[in-house]
């Protein structure tokens, strides 16, 4: 038979779970456990909160926290008996609290990943590698430092300096990717990492080279 205190705490937890305030619900559970309360409902509420909080808060590199969703130690073994105990706490037939089925689905998803040795090994490698996480989130694997006050691709209009670095997309250029040439004073150049740069597309460069050769023939 439930006591008045158990009913009251259970009602408060039910309300918090319904509001999806899992952090407050878990805090309420821990407070009552510290007071020596050993009610089954507290374990059920805590299981829901632990799983969903882990599922909704991704790791720093963007991956799902599958270990947290199983209440397991990161990089450690996942034990079938522990998973069964967790699923029993989340079983809708004995846990009618809000979000219990949602938590059970998250736990099963995590188990499906970590119970397979090959997938677990790959996941462990991924979450331990910051570079993989950066790519996952869309960040470049490597980038050079550029001071905030400097715009690396700043269009500085017409150049007043004849000498500029020319970058071509012609991979077969015998002179290399970067050559120093004399440009007209009216040429539009860009300032990239402190250098004055003009980009010459391959077709444009070939036309330019062709016109130069024609002039020589004449």
Indicate the domain borders of the chain: 4-136, 154-217
- Residue 51: the pLDDT is 97
Q: Structure tokens of 73?
A: 């130690």
Average pLDDT estimate for 64-79: 93
- Residue 39: the pLDDT is 81
Tens digits of per-residue pLDDT, 164-208? Answer: 444 444 444 444 444 444 444 444 555 554 555 554 444 444 454
User: How many whole angstroms separate alpha carbon 218 and alpha carbon 213?
Assistant: 9
Phi, psi of 168 (to 5 degrees): -115, 155
Q: Structure tokens of 161?
A: 């300096």
Cα torsion 88, 89, 95, 101 to 10°: value is -80
pLDDT category at 40 given cuts 50, 70, 90 is confident
CB environment 131-149: b (16+ within 10 A), e (fewer): ebbbeeeeeeeeeeeeeee
- Residue 167: the pLDDT is 43
Nearest to 40 by CA among 101, 106, 91: 91
- Residue 34: the pLDDT is 87
pLDDT at 149 over 80: no
pLDDT category at 9 given cuts 50, 70, 90 is confident
């Amino acid at each position: 038979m439930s006591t008045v205190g158990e009913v009251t705490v259970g009602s408060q937890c039910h309300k918090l779970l319904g509001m999806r305030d899992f952090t407050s619900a878990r805090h309420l559970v821990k407070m009552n456990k510290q007071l020596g309360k050993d009610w089954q409902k507290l374990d059920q509420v805590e299981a829901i909160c632990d799983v969903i909080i882990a599922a909704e808060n991704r790791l720093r590199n963007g991956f799902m926290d599958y270990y947290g969703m199983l209440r397991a130690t990161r990089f450690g073994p996942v034990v079938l008996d522990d998973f069964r105990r967790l699923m029993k706490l989340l079983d809708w037939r004995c846990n009618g609290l809000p979000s219990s089925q949602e938590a059970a689905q998250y736990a099963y998803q995590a188990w499906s990943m970590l119970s397979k040795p090959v997938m677990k090994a790959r996941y462990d490698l991924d979450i331990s590698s910051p570079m993989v996480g950066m790519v996952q989130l869309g960040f470049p694997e490597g980038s050079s430092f550029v001071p905030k006050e400097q715009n690396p691709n700043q269009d500085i209009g017409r150049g007043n300096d004849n000498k500029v670095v020319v970058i071509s997309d012609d991979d077969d250029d015998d002179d290399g990717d970067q050559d120093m040439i004399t440009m007209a004073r009216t040429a539009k150049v860009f300032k990239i990492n402190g250098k004055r740069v003009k980009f010459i597309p391959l077709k444009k460069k070939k036309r330019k080279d062709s016109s130069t050769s024609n002039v020589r023939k004449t």
